[in-house]
Amino acid sequence: MRRLVVTSGEPAGIGPEICLRLATLEGEAHPVVLADRDLLADRARLPGLNVTLRDYVPENIRQRGVLDVLHVPLAVPSQPGKLDPANSAYVLALLDRALSGCQSGEFAAMVTAPLHKGVINDARLPRCPHFTGHTEYLAEMTGTSRVVMMLAGETPHGHSDGTLRVALVTTHLPLREVAAAITAERLTEILHILHRELQGKYALVAPRILVTGLNPHAGEGGYLGREELDLIAPTLETLRREGMNLIGPLPADTLFTPPMLAQGDAVLAMYHDQGLAPLKYATFGHGINITLGLPVIRTSVDHGTALDLAGSGNANPGSLFAAVKEATRMVRDRDRMNKQG
């Protein structure tokens, strides 16, 4: 199998050190880390990080304790916990190199460590004047009109297969802009993508999707808002006639309970915190982010840069490990389907 590529993210955050711990990852994955080599060498001196770095070449054989590094130079030296806008172009260069490698076939999939949206915007880069996140950036760079952010993680309180999957209609928007952004067209597009990807990437022949309402109590029959009555419910009914198995719109405060989650294979939430707060509570440390609808496979951690932990050696790599393992599974299943097809 072709190699996965991992971007190390914001250099002042925990990304570099959790990437170093990939040298100890069990299983079949053999990732390549994109980073400044000197940065990784510096972080490798932290307690508990006994890692040997070597330059990436495709022929490298996997060795435990050895990390393959594809060097991308920092603009200026980076100190743990101290953001510097001068390195924002470096962070985007990591993404660009990983994406181009996936598009060319050099890499099978990409996995991303956390970046810091604020410092990228502080840099006021002409090529990226308003950066809203990995998901939107990768969509723009691949010319993809619509992608879907889905987070997932194993939890005893999840769906019937032990995994909780939560996709979003809107992502990184101020709350006051959410209602206007939810349109019948957008909801239809996202449900088509989610349904197709659950079939193609998770082998769910007839996926059951639980759909939240927007308002408290799903609008309470119109007394707490009419979006459910006027927009969400009619759109779901139209898609049901196409053959989709959609349940909702449901009140979000009761949807995220084990009896309700067991009735579906994934949840579609209307906005960021509505869906991700319960998911991260249930899976934090081992949850992952999956971008659906892209022409490449991309997974990510479900946490931020944790500047207060950077340089301590205490950052938990569990989410990164899970993201690498999930990307590996997706690549393996995709390759098997391509051979069968």
Q: Which residue has the tokens 């925990």?
A: 14
What pLDDT sits at residue 82? 97
27: tokens are 């299983």
Spell out the domains of the chain, with CATH numbers in brackets.
1-144+294-341 (3.40.718.10), 146-293 (3.40.718.10)
Q: What is the pLDDT of residues 198-250, one digit of tens each?
A: 998 888 889 999 999 999 999 999 999 999 999 999 999 999 999 999 999 99
Q: What is the pLDDT of residues 72-106, one digit of tens each?
A: 999 999 999 999 999 999 999 999 999 999 999 99
Mean pLDDT by 10 residues, the chain (341 residues): 92 97 90 97 88 94 94 97 97 97 96 96 92 92 93 83 91 94 97 94 91 96 96 98 97 94 96 94 86 94 94 92 92 76 61
Say if residue 249 is preceded by a cis peptide, omega within 30 of 0: yes
Q: Which residue has the tokens 């995709």?
A: 334
What pLDDT sits at residue 46? 85
258, burial (CB in 10 Å: exposed 0-12, middle 13-18, buried 19+): exposed
State the DSSP H helix or E strand holding residue 268, giving kind and residue range, or none if neither: strand 266-269
Beta strands (DSSP E) in 15-83 are 32-35, 52-55, 66-71
List phi, psi (to 5°) of 47.
Answer: -55, 135
State the DSSP H helix or E strand holding residue 4, giving kind and residue range, or none if neither: strand 4-7
Provide the CA 287 distance to its chain's centre, in angstroms. 9
What pLDDT sits at residue 341? 61
What pLDDT sits at residue 160? 72
The closest alpha carbon to 269, from 214, 197, 222, belongs to: 214
